[in-house]
Structure 1
Amino acid sequence: MNLQRPSTIFYGWLVVAAAFVITFVGFGSAYTFSAFLDSLQHEFAASRGSVSAVFSLAGFMYFALGIVSAPLADRLGVKALSAIGMTLVGLGLILAGQAQTILQVYAAYCIGIGVGVGCAYVPTLGAVQRWFVERRGLASGLAVSGIGVGTLVMPPFALWLIADLGWRNAYTTLGILAIVVGLAAAFVMEDEPGCRGLQPDGIARTMVVGSLQAGNDTPVGQAIRTRRFAGLYLASFLSALGVFVPFVHLAPYAVDHGVPASAAVWLLGAIGIGSTIGRFFLGGIADRMGRESFLIAMYIGMAASLPTWILGGSLSQLILFALIFGLFYGGWVAILPAVVADLFGARHAGRIIGVLYSSVALGTLVGPGAAGFIYDRSHSYVIPIAVSAAANAGAAAVMFLAARRPSAGRVSRWSQSIPPD
């Protein structure tokens, strides 16, 4: 097979840039929730547990819907699914600004942001995996770094809008921006390099027969019955129980400890900074050290960092926690899709990621909401934080045990299929 690299910029990097914007808009909009939590509590006279459950339900929706959105993307194309998703995110924000009851806020977040991100996220990640093989960890990390940058930029921006326009008009403004920017990125997306006569990693295809990934793709039904997938699924569920607790409760925790609300919201920005560093720079390291080993290290890092939250009472201590936690969280999000593509091949990666993320959906549904209700009863975050750390330690142990037995027939460390156990 005669392969050559094109002289112009590889379109896969434009796909990565578009995925960055889509994750920035989708997750950045979702993570503005902490900036609105106080306003929603006061407006609807709701408890912290009931309001934080809004985030949990929306998170459940956008991770769980990957099971549906990935097959739909195979039929309709990632461009169409991303456009639909970004439109729904914007409409959800606008409707949240019009809500007259807490139940209407639930509906706006779940149907709008939850379904919207669910439509766009997994198909976008699946497309990125198909555009790269050797640089898959780096590309995946750059694509999802939009989540980290969105976490850094959007909550403080939302707080500024709330102060200037009020919380209802702030939601409307964010919704319009989400639609305009999100649609622009969606129309840049492309399903796979073959659509442009290319192979993964920017190699021009000049011969019809052959593919860098031929023979390495495991069908979805076969993949989900393997021991490796079971390990990934359980580890992802355990980790998600605790990973998203800080996104909802770190700012209120800081306010409870005397930090002004205007400063506390920047703690999410600190998570975003750490997360962005993790996604930008750790993905390349994972490509060199082995992506499964790297994933285990991320679980250990999150488990070790979460207890330092309990020890933090001052703003500086909480910022340090947020940066360190964000670093490992960003590395986890960046590398998980790449590990799926490594183990089962890129062709069906989107569908397999969609099934896998149902575990993250379940953990997201339970974790932040349960933490809020435990706080309402105990007036302390000690138990939720301790459980979150233990769950991530358990995730590391599960992944280590699942990876101990090498799978037969492994083709390469980048792209291979796993025979059924």
Structure 2
Amino acid sequence: MAGAAPPLASQPELIDSWRAWLVAVGAGLSCGVAFGTIYTFGAFIESMSAEFGAGQGGTSVMIGIATLLFFSTGIISGPLLHRLGPRPLLAVGGAMFVAGLVLTSSVSQLWHGYVVYGIGCGFGAGLFVSPLFATAASWFLRNRAVSQGLVATGPGLGTMFLVPLAERMIENLGWREAFRWLAVIGAITFIVCFVLVRRTPIVATAHPREHVRRVCRTKAFWLLTIGSALFAVPVIGSLAAIIPFARSVGISASAAAWLLSVVGGASIVGRLLLTSFARALGSVRLLTISFGMLPVAYVIWFLASDRYWQIVVFAVLLGVGYGGFVALQGDVTPHLFGVAGIGSVLGRLFFCYGIGSMVGPILMLTMHEQTGGTLVPIAVVAVFALAGTLVISRLTRDPVPLGPPDGPPAKRSPVQLSPPSVWMPVPANGPIGR
């Protein structure tokens, strides 16, 4: 019929193609450097708090601001993704991220770090992290869960390698020089990834804003956002606190830094292992399992005291659960709501996650400083972990009915990218190269 949108399968070389896998690799590397660098902050806390005469709680505000902006900027970058594509966001955000690290290395007062680290690294990374996850998801249909696992492997690798590297550089070169070298690593990586990343090969013929508004009115969306915020409090709090907590019970600096590497390595296992079962067991069910690992992990940490091997077990469970969450959220979201406006939907999810990410480090490190021990903060965030598990366990496993703006809801097939009338292939000379 004249004027009808051609079927998506008319360009099979784009969806699930080698080009799509290159986009996933580029997205994974960029996110890996961003996440990994942010998570090195636990290694910097002791040196920075000593130099500036601030406690761990005051120093943790720096990472709290950065993680809030890191995740919550997605609410801005999601709509920008639909308009500009991922490459301009990666270019601007990557430049801000690198500049933030360089400026942080030169601060003379701690509050200066709140500004330059928070805005440069937090807001800068927030401009491209959520859009890259969304972009990679929209390049796949059959292999979306696996591709999201690949993208999410980047943060695991970044954490596994950059944290001990930062600890070594801080010990040998000082914390200021360590920030500068992290900036060099980031700059090189972002340039490579800029070459690999491309805009999605499909565009919405319907306006994505109305679709996003309908998504935000669903119960499933609110369960997912509230669960994500509750999940972030213990996870991001622990990533910032695990090194100071381990040091406070007599564990050496190198062994404490290695715990974050264990989290990063285990998160890779969680990303790849859990996403490989997504087709058989369903991404929503696996996401619930990822949440359920956290309460168990915190019971183990609570009972560990100074037993290093037990803290390692906690780190493994934390990493697997966190890795599964990061990878599966990128599959659960389009499964439930479709990919129309996915950047904006994921941006809202990241925003709620960012609120929890700000609360977690400040809460855990301040309570640790005030109580002089680790048991109270661990017990408190364990409650958040349990609450998040209970919330996410109520999430539906089926695609959410989303009808036209003025019509009745229409149940979508889980194998469709979205309603057939919403998506069409981009012409060869279209905006794929942005």
* TM-score between both structures, scaled by the size of structure 1: 0.90
Q: How far off its partner does 1:229 sit?
A: 0.5
Distance 1:275 1:405, change over 3 A: closer
Alignment of 1:265 onto 2:257: yes
Classify the secondary structure of the residue corresponding to 2:160: helix
What secondary structure, in the 3-state scheme, does the structure 2 residue paired with 1:359 have?
Answer: helix
**Distance in 1 between residues matched to 2:416 and 2:337, nearest whole Å:** 7
Aligned runs of 1:54-93 on 2, under 5 Å?
54-93=62-101
Q: 2:234 aligns with which of 226, 237, 242?
A: 242
**Do 2:284 and 2:397's aligned partners in 1 also have CA atoms closer than 8 Å?**
no
Aligned-pair CA distance for 1:218: 7.1
Q: CA deviation at 1:5?
A: 5.1
Aligned pairs for 1:358-369 within 5 A = 358-369=351-362
Q: Cα offset for 1:273?
A: 0.7
Count of residue pairs the alignment pairs up: 402
Q: Who is 1:198 aligned against?
A: none
Measure the CA separation in 1 of the matches of 2:232 and 2:394.
19
- 1:130-164 Cα deviation digits (max 9, x unpaired): 11122211111110111111110001111122222
Letter aligned with residue 383 of structure 1: V
* Percent identity between the two aligned chains: 30
Match of 1:284 in 2: 276
Structure 1 segment 290-369 matched on structure 2, within 5 A: 290-312=282-304, 313-369=306-362
The corresponding residue for 2:4 is none
Deviations 1:231-281 (A, max 9, x none): 111111111121112111111111111111121111100000100111122
Q: Which residue of 2 aligns with 1:205?
A: none
> 1:177 is matched with which residue?
185
Whether 1:410 and 2:403 are equivalent positions in the alignment is no
User: Which of the numbers 365, 378, 397 marks the counterpart of 2:371?
Assistant: 378
Residue in 2 that maps onto 1:221: 213
Matched position secondary structure for 1:244? helix
Deviation of 1:412 after TM superposition, in Å, equals: 2.7
- Secondary structure of the residue that 2:393 maps to in structure 1? helix
Structure 2: gaps spanning 5 or more residues:
1-6, 402-409, 420-434
Which one of 138, 147, 163 corresponds to residue 139 of structure 1? 147
Cα distance between partner residues in 2 of 1:406 and 1:32: 37
How far off is 1:175 after superposition?
Answer: 0.8
Contact kept, 8 Å, 2:156 with 2:268, in 1: the verdict is yes
Does the C-alpha gap of structure 1 residues 127 and 371 become closer, same or farther in structure 2, counting only changes over 3 Å? same
Deviations 1:180-236 (A, max 9, x none): 2112202321111249xxxxxxxxxxxxxxx9x999997111110111111111111
Aligned to 1:26: 34
Q: Which one is further off, 47-56 or 118-127?
A: 47-56
2:414 is aligned with what amino acid?
Answer: R
Question: Structure 2 vs 1, CA of residues 214 and 88 (structure 1 numbering), >3 Å: closer, same or farther?
Answer: closer
Report the counterpart of residue 39 of structure 1 in structure 2. Answer: 47
* Amino acid in structure 2 at the alignment position of 1:228: A
**2:124 aligns with one of 113, 116, 136:** 116
Q: Which residue of 2 aligns with 1:207?
A: none
C-alpha contact 1:149 1:272 (8 A) present in aligned 2 = yes
> Does 82-91 or 214-223 show the bigger shift?
214-223
Q: CA deviation at 1:359?
A: 0.9
The 1:416–1:304 alpha-carbon spacing in structure 2 relative to 1, beyond 3 Å, is farther
Q: 1:405 to 1:149 in 2, by over 3 A?
A: closer
Contact 1:87–1:183 at 8 Å: present in 2 too?
A: no
User: Where does residue 275 of structure 1 map in the other structure?
Assistant: 267
Decide whether the 8 Å contact of 1:217 with 1:416 is kept in 2. no
2-side partners of 1:82 and 1:414: how far apart?
30
3-state DSSP of counterpart to 2:213: helix
- Map Cα deviations across residues 72-96 of structure 1 (whole Å, 9 max, x no partner): 1222210110121111111111111
For the Cα contact (< 8 Å) 1:410–1:416, is it kept in 2?
no
**SS of 1:229's equivalent?**
helix
Q: Distance in 2 between matches of 1:138 and 1:400?
A: 23
- TM-score with structure 2 setting the length: 0.87
Q: Indicate which of 373, 384, 391 corresponds to 1:398.
A: 391
C-alpha separation in 2, matches of 1:346 and 1:115: 24
User: Which is worse superposed, 384-393 or 336-345?
Assistant: 384-393
